Structure 1
Amino acid sequence: MSSDGLIADFAHDDRDIDRILILNESEYGRASPNPSTDVVSTRASFTWRRDQNPAGQAIIPVIRNHFGDVVGFFWLIPMRIRAQEKNYVAATGANLVIAPEGRRTFGYTKLMRNFTNALRDTKTVLHFSFVSEENYKRLRAENSNRTFTVPLLLKPLEYGTLVKCHLKTEWQRFLANKARWILEPLFFRRPSLLGDTDVSVQMLDQFDESFDDFWNRVQDKYRAIVIRDQAFLKWRFTAVSARRYHILVARSPDKMLGYSVIRCANVRGIPTGLILDLLLLDSNQGEEAGVCLTAHAEAFFRSQKMSLIAALMVPGSAEYRVLRLLGCRNLGSVFSPRPFRFAFFVHREDLKSLSVKDWFVTLADFESL
């Protein structure tokens, strides 16, 4: 036993699962100082994340106190990625939680060492994660080509709700209402659907086999991307924790041109339409499909009385251009709940040429939405 009484291990049995769910609720639940939308709040969502992933079973490094209770954990979730035109099994690190009794000890160090050993033992070629602000600054100083901030693009839909939620004093609201006539035409305009186009948009109930064919045609559009085939999409967008996802598909008469996955959520008290994933065929027709998909998503969000649209998207991508064209903007921290700091770590020599410019990242790659 170490001097702080904490030992490194892995989650094994029902008792460990119960402790992980309790810690998760304490960290992210409604009574938490920082409530979140983290999905691992029930046995069903735990089983979904650990056991149903088509890339393989997740591993959960933990630290235990002297009673054997889990007081910290960090998920290691396998992910199939496409990098430099080859398929690999990589991993993502997610949902790091340490109970108060494990903080200000060597608990974090032991947990991360256990996580690193698990990466080595599973021969993981690469892992990625959304990291804390502290780790982001450290990683940027060590190697700026391995971490970056993914912009959260936002489009306000309803002026009054946003003013009420974000501006707390009467004088702030007074000034905002005076500026309404200037701001509304800039940010709140409705998109116009393309009139002369053979692109049709449908809302589907599930991901069918056509998503595999679409993935085969777009898989090398970006140099580094989580494989978005039917198996991954069905797993990632399973209706856990009472979530309801909506699938939009754009097609020409003979093929799929792109898709989007959306849902409605309450984020920091604001009814928000989330564009969780948007992937388009690498062509002009694909971008045209993106305009149609995003316009249909906005129309749906308006029908559901959402006040804001949010989409995480890497700059330089065609999907980013489409979102910008439809009025989504990087508004910094004005409405964003947090900065999205993405980092990746390469453990294989032939992947070390990957850089931040190679990645395609959306909210589908963020573990808790």
Structure 2
Amino acid sequence: MSSDGLIADFAHDDRDIDRILILNESEYGRASPNPSTDVVSTRASFTWRRDQNPAGQAIIPVIRNHFGDVVGFFWLIPMRIRAQEKNYVAATGANLVIAPEGRRTFGYTKLMRNFTDALKDTGAVLHFSFVSEENYKRLRAENSNRTFTVPLLLKPLEYGTLVKCHLKTEWQRFLANKARWILEPLFFRRPSLPGDTDVSVQMLDQFDESFDDFWNRVQDKYRAIVIRDQAFLKWRFTPVSARRYHILVARSPDKMLGYSVIRCANVRGIPTGLILDLLLLDSNQGEEAGVCLTAHAEAFFRSQKMSLIAALMVPGSAEYRVLRLLGCRNLGSVFSPRPFRFAFFVHREDLKSLSVKDWFVTLADFESL
């Protein structure tokens, strides 16, 4: 046993699962400094993440104290990606938690070494993760072409709720209300749909086989993207932990043009409509479909009394342009609880040319929303 009493291992049995759920609840539950509505805190959500992934079973490197209890863990989740027009096995690291007793020790180092060894055994050609601010700065200094900030695009829908939630003093609220007549036309306007279009939008109950056909037609739109076929989408958007997802599909008379996955959530006290995924056919008609999808999403969010729309989207993509066109703006520094720092690590020589500009990233790639 090492001097700090911590041992690197992997999660094995029900006792380990219980400890992981307790640590997650402690870190992200209602009583924590960083509460989240999406914490993996039930057996159902744990089983979904570990066992039901079509890319393979997740691995959970852990560290244990001298009693054998798990005091830290980091999920290693297999992913299938499309990179440079080929399919590969990849992985993502998610949900890193270390209990207070494991901090200020070599616990983090042991956990990451265990994670790295397990990653090598998977044969993953690369892995990616959303990283902490500290790691982001370190990685940017080492190689600025391997990490970037994904903009959080926001559109306010309901002025009064946002003022109440974000402005704490009476004078701030007074000034905000005085400025309402200026701000509402700029940020709160309702979208207008294309007048003459053969694009129709439907809300589906589940992902069907047409999503495989759509993926086959759109898979090489970006040089690096998690494979978004029917199997992945059904797993990623399984309604666990009381989440309720809504699937919007845009079609022309003869084919699917794009889809969006949305849901309503309470984020830091604000009723928020989340656009979790938006992927469009690479054509003018695809972008027209994106306008229709986003407008329908907004109409749904308004009907559900949401105060804000939020979407994570890489700049330069057609989907980013569509969201901007519909009034979403990069206001993450004002409303977001955190910046979304994305990093990737390549383990195969012929993929070393991948850069930050090649990736397509949305909230679907974030670990738990």
- 1:21-67 CA distances to partner (integer Å, 9 max, x unpaired)? 00000000001111013341100000000000000000000000000
- Cα distance per residue 1:245-277 (max 9 Å; x no partner): 000000000000000000000000000000000
Cα distance in 1 for residues equivalent to 2:306 and 2:337? 16
Whether the 8 Å CA contact 1:64–1:71 is kept in 2: the answer is: yes
Which one is further off, 294-303 or 190-199? 190-199
The 1-side partners of 2:110 and 2:127 are apart by 19
Do the aligned residues in 1 keep the contact of 2:24 with 2:39 (CA within 8 Å)? no
For the Cα contact (< 8 Å) 1:276–1:364, is it kept in 2? yes
| Stretch moving more, 53-62 or 115-124 | 115-124
Match of 1:189 in 2: 189
Distance 1:332 1:205 in 2: 31
Alpha-carbon distance in 1 for matches of 2:25, 2:190: 39
Maintained 8 Å contact 2:89/2:123: no
Contact 2:224 2:358 in 1 (8 A): yes
Counterpart mapping for 1:1-369 below 5 A: 1-369=1-369
Deviation at 1:3, TM superposition (A): 0.1
Q: What TM-score results when the alignment is normalised by the length of structure 1?
A: 0.99
Please give the per-residue CA displacement for 1:126-184, whole angstroms capped at 9, x wherever unaligned. 00000000000000000000000000000000000000000000000000000000000
Q: Distance in 2 between matches of 1:68 and 1:274?
A: 40
Structure 1 runs of 4+ with >3 Å offset: none
> Per the alignment, in what secondary structure is the counterpart of residue 111 of structure 2?
helix
Task: Report the alpha carbon displacement of residue 195 of structure 1 after superposing the two structures with TM.
Answer: 1.6
- Mapped partners of 2:338, 2:3: distance in 1: 36
Q: Distance in 2 between matches of 1:81 and 1:2?
A: 38
Say which SS state the counterpart of residue 96 (structure 1) adopts: strand
Query: Do 1:81 and 1:226's aligned partners in 2 also have CA atoms closer than 8 Å?
Result: yes
TM-score (norm 2): 0.99
Q: What is the percentage of aligned positions where both structures have the same residue?
A: 98
| C-alpha distance in 1 between matches for 2:279 and 2:77 | 23
Q: How many residues align?
A: 369
Contact 2:154 2:332 in 1 (8 A): no
Where do 5+ consecutive residues of structure 1 fail to align? Answer: none
SS of the equivalent of 1:364 reads helix
**2:309 counterpart SS class:** strand
1:194 deviates by: 1.3
SS of the residue 2:31 aligns to: coil
CA RMSD for the aligned pairs?
A: 0.5
Distance between the aligned counterparts of 1:332 and 1:26, measured in 2? 26
User: How far is the alpha carbon of 1:331 from its aligned partner?
Assistant: 1.2
Could you tell me how far 1:115 is from its partner in structure 2? 0.3
Q: Give yes or no for contact 2:6–2:65 (8 Å, CA) kept in 1.
A: yes
Q: Is the 8 A contact 2:82 2:226 kept in 1?
A: yes
Cα drift, residue 193 of structure 1: 1.3
Higher mean C-alpha displacement, 148-157 vs 191-200: 191-200
Would the aligned equivalents of 1:39 and 1:240 in 2 still touch at CA under 8 Å?
no
Deviation at 1:19, TM superposition (A): 0.4
State the 1:332 CA deviation. Answer: 3.4
In 2, Cα distance between equivalents of 1:333 and 1:357 = 22
Secondary structure at the counterpart of residue 182 of structure 1:
helix
Shift of 1:366: 0.1
Instruction: Report if aligned partners of 1:37, 1:368 keep a CA contact under 8 Å in 2.
Output: no
In 2, the alpha carbon distance for the partners of 1:334 and 1:55 equals 36
Task: Report if the CA contact (8 A) 2:37-2:266 is conserved.
Answer: no
Residue 233 and residue 39 in structure 1: after superposition, are their counterparts in 2 closer, same or farther (change >3 A)? farther
